[in-house]
């Protein structure tokens, strides 16, 4: 029987007695003396998941190793991984038989948690979340879950030894001027797209911050995939119904040679496992996680390998590779060691994997990449972050019971007046903004209340939540404007800014089943015009410095590949200037999309089609010249005008009610926000109604 206590934890126990009054709820007594009260709905859920094991031979058996409960009639816990033999070092927990059994942190006398045979997603996520990562290697080795973490640590050390990453040298043999750095073991839990635990990982990471430039390293730059490039490749793959695969390179940073001699002194727990003497240190022969040059060296080696296999590297994005021949087309997009592959057929992909010299893992259909859940059926692809959003709400303890359908209030005016600290005159409001100078005499200033306000904000993880939302915004552009406005006050936030930030998270949690959709729009206009874009600008929308905000939406084949909201760097004195600056920002991107599409096999034969709701900006381009009074915008004007004359793009005026970029510049009412969000995410009408009430 399952029971849930006030602390939110779920336990397994045996019912010895229960009493029921004339009305609900039940009062249940368990064998360990604990009592719990359940409503009628809770009891129905308990009886639904309760397993009646009448056969004594099929009773659960608790194993002392790793505290894992096994049921013989079920499938085994450990599954074979890529042809390797089953062992205690391969802890891959299956989704159907989620039998990770861990004891609670604060209640050691209770029975261990078990998820054998459970199918309820909410219950499994709750139980899986109780298993945490040890803060140090000492806690992992000597803690109550050491049977789980010790094989993970040994596996990582064995991999370092097997790849000959280092050789042992005496301390006296270290050259003059060289100083050994240190390192530590970093442990992590990998989860699948539903939030279930799939694997425990460990990485030995060097303390690269102790390296010195010129002595231990030189070049450090290593590119990561440009998000629009990844979306463009996905859009092309979905349009052609190609296969989408993924794979990880195992121990990528342990496969590249070092160009500088680096010495490392491992922790005493690692030295003891490797039987090292007290006067021995590592002389690194290959790169290691944490070194400043590791990412640079790995990207250089990966590029050489792809060129050896006949791939071409994209000039605009060095993380995008393509190979096309009579057998088919293969595109590879790499983010450090995570690779996304689109192939015309399975044969082309198998030949590539066979010729690829580096060891790989997690090879299979594209399901999870860069924190995004991927659902692809060959016709339509959806990128979602449902599990991450739920984990984010649980991590920051934000109450999401009251649903919100817009990320920000329509008339909310966030400004520096809401920040703790003395006030200074504000440009836009005529009031006072937060600052460090003394407060003028005509403005009341309560020092005690201000110090209380500042002390309250010091305990609030404003920047942590802001960073998590900024990462979520790249797949949910409907929150970009709200997140950007809250990010302006990251240095000195106030309680009003924190409330606005929490509202964004509540909105994300309410609409967590939404995601970016590819392949849903197949109208003729979407297929004819390769690149379409919508721009908008909120003139002088910032209440502290009167700067405008640019909103930009770019679609290829009807799929959104880029949508961002950014504040302009300079003030403008007219809506025409603000809109022209927004259009110029898009014109600067036209070369990028033209080159990427040409690289992927779709050279742009037609000009990009742009839309704006500024009639003045369209008429200015149609006129073809600036008047003397308009010389302040001549740079942006000539940039846009030259692109129009060279037939790289066209510009059309549309009504403000039809411009989806409006949602990226200001807060909108629910109806308009939902309509524009559906367009941004590429979802057809009623696409989300089966999963949520929009």
- Listing DSSP states for 284-349 in one string gives EEE--TT-TTHHHHHHHHHHHHHHHTT-EE-SS-TTEEEEEETTEEEEEEEETTEEEEEESSHHHH
pLDDT number for residue 627: 66
pLDDT number for residue 67: 29
pLDDT in tens, 482-508: 999 999 999 999 999 999 999 999 999
Buried b (16+ CB within 10 A) or exposed e, 51-84: eeeeeeeeeeeeeeebbbbbbeeeeebeeebeee
Q: How far is CA 384 from the centre of its chain?
A: 10
The answer to whether the Cα torsion of 518, 522, 528, 532 is positive or negative is negative
DSSP state of 283: E
Which of 541, 443, 536 lies closest to 485, judged by CA? 541
pLDDT number for residue 235: 92
Q: Mean pLDDT over residues 321-347, rounded?
A: 93
Give the Cα separation of 334 and 233 in Å (integer).
12
Judge whether 513 and 390 are in contact, CB under 8 Å: no
What percentage of the chain reaches a pLDDT higher than 70? 74
DSSP state of 671: H
State the pairing for strand pair 10-12/2-4: antiparallel
What percentage of the chain reaches a pLDDT higher than 90? 40
Phi-psi region of 182 (alpha: psi -120 to 50; beta: other; left: phi over 0): beta
**Contacts (Cβ under 8 Å, ≥6 apart) of 3:** 10, 11, 12, 13, 28, 30, 34, 36, 46
Q: From the CB of residue 411, how many other CB atoms can be counted at a distance below 10 Å?
A: 6
pLDDT at 524 exceeding the cut of 90: no
Q: Mean pLDDT over residues 252-275, rounded?
A: 91
pLDDT number for residue 29: 65
Judge whether 508 and 478 are in contact, CB under 8 Å: no
Q: Topology of domain 516-681, per CATH?
A: Nucleotidyltransferase; domain 5 (3.30.420)
pLDDT at 76 exceeding the cut of 50: no
Give the Cα separation of 606 and 13 in Å (integer).
68
pLDDT at 680 exceeding the cut of 70: yes
pLDDT number for residue 347: 92
User: Residue 417's pLDDT band (boundaries 50, 70, 90)?
Assistant: confident
pLDDT number for residue 90: 30
What count of residues does the chain have? 694
Give the Cα separation of 578 and 564 in Å (integer).
16
The answer to whether the Cα torsion of 132, 133, 138, 140 is positive or negative is positive
pLDDT in tens, 169-212: 999 999 988 899 999 999 988 777 666 777 888 999 999 999 98
pLDDT at 354 exceeding the cut of 50: yes
Cα Rg, the chain, nearest whole Å: 29
HEC string of 618-665 equals: HHHHHHCCCCHHHHHHHHHHHHHHHHHHCCCEEEEECCHHHCHHHHHC
DSSP for 156-217 reads: HHHHHHHTT-EEEEEGGGSPTT---EEEEEEEEEEE-TTS-EEEEEEEEEE-GGG--BTTTB
pLDDT number for residue 1: 40
pLDDT in tens, 542-585: 888 889 999 999 999 889 999 989 999 888 888 888 999 999 99
Q: What are the residue ranges of CATH 3.30.420.10 in the chain? A: 516-681
Judge whether 611 and 657 are in contact, CB under 8 Å: no
């Amino acid at each position: 029987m399952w029971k849930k206590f006030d602390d939110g934890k779920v336990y397994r126990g045996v019912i010895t007695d229960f009493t029921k009054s004339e009305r609900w709820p039940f009062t249940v007594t368990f064998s360990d003396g604990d009592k719990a009260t359940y409503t009628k709905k809770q009891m129905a859920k308990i009886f639904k998941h309760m397993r009646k094991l009448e056969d004594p031979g099929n009773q659960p058996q608790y194993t002392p190793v790793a505290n894992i409960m096994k049921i013989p009639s079920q499938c085994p816990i450990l599954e074979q991984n890529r042809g390797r033999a089953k062992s205690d070092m391969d802890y891959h927990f299956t989704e159907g038989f989620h039998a990770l059994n861990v004891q609670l942190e604060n209640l050691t006398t209770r029975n261990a948690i078990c998820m054998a045979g459970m199918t309820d997603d909410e219950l499994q996520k709750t139980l899986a979340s109780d298993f945490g990562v040890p803060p140090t290697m000492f806690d992992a080795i000597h803690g109550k879950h050491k049977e789980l973490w010790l094989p993970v640590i040994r596996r990582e050390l064995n991999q370092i030894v097997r790849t000959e990453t280092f050789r042992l040298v005496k301390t006296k043999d270290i050259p003059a001027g060289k100083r050994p750095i240190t390192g530590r073991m970093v442990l992590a839990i990998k989860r699948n797209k539903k939030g279930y635990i799939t694997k425990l990982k460990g990485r030995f990471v060097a303390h690269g911050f102790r390296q010195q430039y010129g002595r231990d390293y030189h070049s450090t730059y290593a590119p990561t995939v440009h998000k629009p490039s990844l979306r463009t490749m996905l859009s092309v793959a979905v349009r052609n119904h190609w296969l989408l695969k993924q794979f990880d390179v195992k121990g990528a940073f342990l496969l590249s040679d070092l160009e500088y001699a680096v010495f490392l002194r491992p922790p005493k727990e690692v030295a003891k496992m490797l039987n090292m003497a007290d006067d021995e240190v590592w002389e690194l022969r290959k790169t290691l996680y944490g070194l400043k040059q590791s990412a640079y060296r790995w990207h250089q080696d990966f590029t050489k390998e792809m060129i050896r296999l006949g791939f071409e590297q994209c000039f605009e994005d060095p993380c995008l590779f393509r190979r096309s021949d009579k057998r088919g087309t293969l595109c590879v997009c790499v983010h450090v060691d995570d690779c996304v592959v689109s192939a015309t057929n399975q044969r082309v992909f198998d030949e590539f994997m066979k010729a690829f010299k580096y060891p790989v893992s997690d090879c299979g259909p594209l399901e999870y990449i860069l924190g995004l859940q991927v659902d692809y059926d060959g016709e339509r692809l959806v990128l979602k972050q449902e599990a991450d959003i739920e984990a984010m709400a649980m991590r920051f303890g934000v109450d999401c019971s009251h649903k919100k359908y817009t990320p920000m209030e329509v008339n909310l005016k966030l400004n520096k007046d809401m920040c703790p600290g003395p006030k200074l005159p504000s440009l836009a409001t005529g009031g006072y903004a937060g600052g460090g100078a003394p407060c003028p005499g005509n403005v009341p200033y309560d020092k005690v209340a201000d110090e209380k306000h500042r002390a309250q904000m010091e305990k609030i993880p404003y920047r942590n939540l802001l960073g998590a939302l900024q990462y979520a915004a790249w797949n949910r552009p409907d929150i970009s404007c709200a997140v950007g406005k809250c990010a302006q006050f990251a240095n000195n936030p106030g309680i009003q800014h924190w409330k606005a930030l929490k509202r964004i998270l509540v909105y994300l949690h309410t609409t967590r089943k939404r995601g970016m959709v590819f392949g849903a729009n197949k109208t003729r206009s979407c297929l004819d015009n390769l690149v379409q874009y919508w721009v908008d600008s909120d003139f002088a929308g910032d209440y502290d410095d009167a700067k405008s905000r640019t909103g930009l939406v770019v679609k290829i084949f009807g799929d959104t590949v880029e949508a961002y909201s950014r504040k302009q760097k300079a003030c403008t004195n007219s809506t025409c200037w603000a809109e022209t600056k927004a259009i110029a920002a898009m014109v600067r991107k036209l070369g990028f999309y033209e080159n990427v599409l040409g690289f992927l096999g779709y050279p742009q034969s037609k000009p990009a089609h742009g839309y704006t709701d500024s009639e003045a900006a369209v008429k200015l381009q149609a006129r073809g010249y600036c008047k003397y009074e308009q010389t302040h915008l001549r740079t942006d004007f000539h940039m846009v005008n030259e692109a129009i004359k060279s037939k790289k793009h066209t510009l059309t005026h549309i009504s403000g009610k039809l411009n989806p970029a409006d949602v990226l510049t200001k807060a909108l009412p629910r109806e308009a926000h939902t309509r524009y969000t559906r367009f941004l995410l590429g979802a057809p009408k009623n696409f989300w109604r089966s999963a949520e009430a929009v």
